[in-house]
């Protein structure tokens, strides 16, 4: 256990509102990550529009976002928004999770929002109203559904991997 790690008795889960606010702040920072990765991809491939090399661009953005999160989580268990909102990612013992678990955490947080996005697409096609596609902006927040079921209010991917978000506010 790291000397900065909280003891097991100090594990309290940040409120959903704080995690939501952190997620919103994260989205603002991710705009920069996505912009930079997309700009580099387009410059290096000489892409002239968003549909050119679309699948390659999506793969690069997935990797760039993953590198951002994994590097931040690996260093101190926090991204800048997590630090701002006093939230830290730890394993069951309060230590920083190993790199392999961080990669799995990143990969496992995608299925629920992607399934929700698929449902938005199906609703759009079923209704014939393309404006229904706008609901895709809410799909990342479907991660919170499990927090109402989980006994500790943790996300499903954290429950599966033995990681958790903890409150690190100073009293």
CA angle, 51 then 57 then 59, to 5°: 135
How high is the pLDDT of residue 52? 85
pLDDT at 4: 52
Furthest-apart CA atoms within the chain: distance in Å: 57
Q: How many CB atoms lie within 10 A of CB 126?
A: 9
Q: What is the pLDDT of residues 103-115, one digit of tens each?
A: 999 999 999 999 9
Q: 99-108 and 54-76 helices cross at what angle (nearest 10)?
A: 130
3-state secondary structure of 40: helix
Q: Where are the alpha helices (DSSP H) in the chain?
A: 16-45, 54-76, 80-84, 99-108, 111-127, 156-161
Q: Which positions of the chain have pLDDT values less than 70?
A: 1-10
Q: What is the pLDDT of residue 9?
A: 52
> Which two tokens mark 59?
């793969």
């Amino acid at each position: 256990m790291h000397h900065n790690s909280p003891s097991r008795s100090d594990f309290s889960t940040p409120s959903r509102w704080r995690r939501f606010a952190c997620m919103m702040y994260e989205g603002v920072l991710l705009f920069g990550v996505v912009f930079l990765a997309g700009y580099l991809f387009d410059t290096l491939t000489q892409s002239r529009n968003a549909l050119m090399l679309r699948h390659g661009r999506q793969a690069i953005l997935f990797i760039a976002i993953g590198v951002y999160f994994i590097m931040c989580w690996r260093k101190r268990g926090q991204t800048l928004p997590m630090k701002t909102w006093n939230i830290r990612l730890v394993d069951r013992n309060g230590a920083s999770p190993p790199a392999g678990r961080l990669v799995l955490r990143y990969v496992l947080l995608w299925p629920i929002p992607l399934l929700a996005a698929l449902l938005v697409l199906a609703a759009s096609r079923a209704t014939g109203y393309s404006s229904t596609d706008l609901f895709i902006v809410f799909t990342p927040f479907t991660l919170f559904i499990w927090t109402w079921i989980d006994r500790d209010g943790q996300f499903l991917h954290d429950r599966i991997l033995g990681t958790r978000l903890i409150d690190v506010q100073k009293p």
